[in-house]
Amino acid sequence: MVAQLSIVTEWFPEQMEPGSIFVLQNAGEVGEQDDPYWAVLACPECGTLGLITRRQFRGLIPVICGSNVCPTQFVIEDERVVPKRPN
């Protein structure tokens, strides 16, 4: 698992490597009003792309990989990936 997120500023899905994060152009406008979608993150373990919310981006709640075969859970802290044990 990569330990550091790398922010990409242009959306090229094929260039999203594990740990790449792309902040949505309409961040904050889609999803729940109190916790809208914020970015697309490639799982730092397996690279599966998933949407994360503002609270996940700010490290308030953990990110869980969307892949059925990847149990990765982690918290984002200042663009670092802090692994979290599954409950």
- Site residues, Zn ion (CB under 5 A): 43, 45-46, 48, 65, 67, 70, 72
The C-alpha atoms of residue 87 and residue 85 are separated, in whole angstroms, by 6
Kindly list the distances between the CA atom of residue 81 and the CA atoms of 3, 4, 26, 29, 46, in Å, as whole numbers in the listed order.
5, 6, 24, 25, 14
Least distance to Zn ion, CB of residue 9, Å: 23
Minimum distance of Zn ion from residue 33's CB (angstroms): 28
- With respect to Zn ion, which residue has the nearer C-beta, 22 or 45? 45
CB of 62 to Zn ion, least distance (A): 13
Comparison of 28 and 64: residue with beta carbon closer to Zn ion:
64
> How many Cβ atoms from other residues are within 10 Å of residue 58's Cβ?
15
